[in-house]
Amino acid sequence: MASISVHPIENRSTPAIAQLQNQEKFISKVNRVAKEIFSEALYWGKLALGAFIVITLVKTVFLYPITSIALAVLTGVIYKHRHEISGAVDLHFSMLKNTLKIEPWFKEIQDKQVILGKIPLQNKDHGERLREMGVTSVIALVEEKELDKTHLLAHSVTPSIWQEKGIEFTKIIIKRSDPISIETLDKAVAVMEAAKKKEGKSYVYCHAKGSMGAMITAAYLMKSHGVSLQEARKLIEKQKPTIKFDLQELGQLVEYDGHIRSQKNN
124 alpha-carbon distance from chain centroid: 26
What value does the mean pLDDT take over residues 152-163?
Answer: 82
Are 134 and 42 within one domain?
no
Q: What is the pTM of this model?
A: 0.67
pLDDT category, 14, cuts 50, 70, 90? low
What value does the mean pLDDT take over residues 195-220?
Answer: 86
DSSP-derived secondary structure for 8-37: -HHHHHHHHHHHHHHHHHHHHHHHHHHHHH
Q: How many domains does the chain have?
A: 2
Q: Is residue 88 part of a domain?
A: no
H-helix or E-strand containing 114? strand 114-117
Pairing of strands 114-117, 106-108: antiparallel
CB 91 within 8 A of CB 118: yes
Are 182 and 61 within one domain?
no
Q: Is residue 89 part of a domain?
A: no
Are 69 and 140 within one domain?
no
Q: Is residue 252 part of a domain?
A: yes
Are 44 and 173 within one domain?
no
CB 113 within 8 A of CB 211: no
Reduced to 3 states (helix: H, G, I; strand: E, B; else coil), residue 5 is coil
CB 127 within 8 A of CB 199: no
Instruction: List the domain range (segments joined by +) for residue 116.
Output: 103-265
Are 194 and 69 within one domain?
no
Are 158 and 217 within one domain?
yes
156 Cβ neighbours under 8 A, 6+ residues apart: 119, 120, 121, 122, 146, 147, 148, 149, 150
What value does the mean pLDDT take over residues 144-162?
Answer: 73
Q: What pLDDT does 21 receive?
A: 60
Are 195 and 70 within one domain?
no
User: Where is average pLDDT lowest: 19-23, 141-145, 172-176?
Assistant: 19-23
Q: Is residue 7 part of a domain?
A: no
| End-to-end Cα spacing for the chain | 151
Q: Is residue 2 part of a domain?
A: no
Q: Is the four-CA dihedral 69, 75, 79, 81 of positive or negative sign? A: positive
Q: Is residue 165 part of a domain?
A: yes
Domain finish residue from 80, 114, 132: 80
Query: Is a pLDDT exceeding 90 seen at residue 139?
Result: yes
Reduced to 3 states (helix: H, G, I; strand: E, B; else coil), residue 208 is coil
Are 179 and 257 within one domain?
yes
Instruction: Name the phi and psi angles at 240, rounded to 5.
Output: -130, 75
Reduced to 3 states (helix: H, G, I; strand: E, B; else coil), residue 204 is strand
Q: Is residue 30 part of a domain?
A: yes
Are 135 and 195 within one domain?
yes
pLDDT category, 187, cuts 50, 70, 90? very high
Are 27 and 141 within one domain?
no
Are 23 and 120 within one domain?
no
Q: What pLDDT does 228 receive?
A: 92
pLDDT category, 134, cuts 50, 70, 90? very high
Q: Give the closest residue to 238 by CA, choosing from 263, 217, 223.
A: 217
Give 223-256 as a 3 state SS string.
Answer: HHCCCCHHHHHHHHHHHCCCCCCCHHHHHHHHHH
- What integer best gives the mean pLDDT of the chain? 77
Question: Identity (one letter) of the amino acid at 175?
Answer: K
Tell me the C-alpha to C-alpha distance, in Å, between residue 119 and each of 63, 134, 151: 44, 18, 12
Cα angle 89, 143, 161 (rounded to 5 degrees) comes to 90
Q: Is residue 17 part of a domain?
A: yes
pLDDT category, 178, cuts 50, 70, 90? confident
Are 242 and 155 within one domain?
yes
CATH of the domain at 210: 3.90.190.10
Query: Is a pLDDT exceeding 80 seen at residue 105?
Result: yes
